[in-house]
Structure 1
Amino acid sequence: MPTEPTGASAGAEGRAGGPPRRARRRAGVLAAAVAVPALTMGVSVPVAADGAAEGGAPAGIRACESGDYKLIYEGREAAAGTMYIRFAMARIMGDGPGEEPCVQYTPVAMHWIDTFEGERVGDWARYDDDPPEPFVVEPGGVADLTVRQPNPLNYPEEDCEPQPVAGIQVYLRFEDDEGVYGPTGGQDVMCSLPGKGVPTVFVEPSGA
């Protein structure tokens, strides 16, 4: 896994907004601003074990792994200087068993990346301070991932140092995880300086 984020991932932007849920996205209504803490990589993702599950997750079902998913870019909306960039997290065979359900825990770790298997650009993403409960994703199923991204044009170029990016890299564990890549077609440029244009990542059940 790439270098862990430092205190710079807290950013200088203070409070950030949450994305609309899918029904509200379809209605064209964006969510109101909510407090969003910086991602802290020292926190481990809970994993069900010995018939017990944390956070309301079903017992006896393994945690989803990065290798269980393919990230599929679905599109974006924009409002008030912020983009909402949407991906489907589609279950595939991957490195895990694949032919069984898995529990998707939230939040996840995410950053922009300059090329496939390349280098991180900018800060690690913040995450929703009120994430959904863990949920089950069946084989062939889908989860929804949204990146709330401040527009780099919101910042003076010298304070942002915009850099082209190829897509996002998402990690489902906080160690020993190569992550899963989600390309955006090379259409994006993101701030590379700490604390500027810090994204926020949200994962939720499909159609929530």
Structure 2
Amino acid sequence: MRFAELSSPQVAALRQGPRVPVLLLPIGAVEPHGPHAPLGTDQLISQSMCERAAARLATDEHVRVLILPPLGYGAARCAAATNGAVGIGQETLHSLIVDVCTALGEQGLPRVVLVDSHAAPEQLATLRRAVHTVALRSGQHIGHLDLACHPAARRLPAQLRAGQCHGGRCETSLVLAERPELVDTAQLRDVAACDGSPFEATGAEGESTFDTLTAMLVEVIRELV
């Protein structure tokens, strides 16, 4: 499932096969998610979404899904003064995405989907602009799982759609579903968050949310093909 694990001849063979290659680019941020969740929560969620979508389409006759190495650093201006926040500028993020997608397009692999769960306003604006820039420069149309705009997003918690679930019940549930050992449960009881206390988070809720997110990502992949 991982693009970076292929050899050069295997990448060349992607263009010759009967299945259309689609490359997923997980994007996140390094910033605090309360005292209980890991700094890399956003990347962890994005990466898991990609892995689940790739697994769901593993036997598809028409699509070959591969996961690119993630972009783990994001535009995290709102958390810049907090311990553990390591952000990059919007122009840096924009250039990284445009350069990666352009390089793939020049190799005959133009179908790329941006998969981001950081969803800070500056990050979301940068990703949308990158999609537009790539199209203007090369005519290459890349996909973007934009949780604020996808029709199925109504099935997600409202705070997740709005990018306001930072370290709360929803995000904590997603981490519990994927990497429960990374959640400091001793810290949960005293934490309040905007979408409900993370003390109420459960792995089962995270699995349900992941199922919806994965279905949305699969839809974006199929639309791109």
Fold equivalence (TM over 0.5): no
Greater length-normalized contact order (CA 8 Å, ≥ 6 residues apart): 1
More helix by share: 2
Instruction: Indicate the structure (1 or 2) with the bigger Cα radius of gyration.
Output: 2
Q: Normalised by the size of structure 1, how large is the TM-score?
A: 0.26
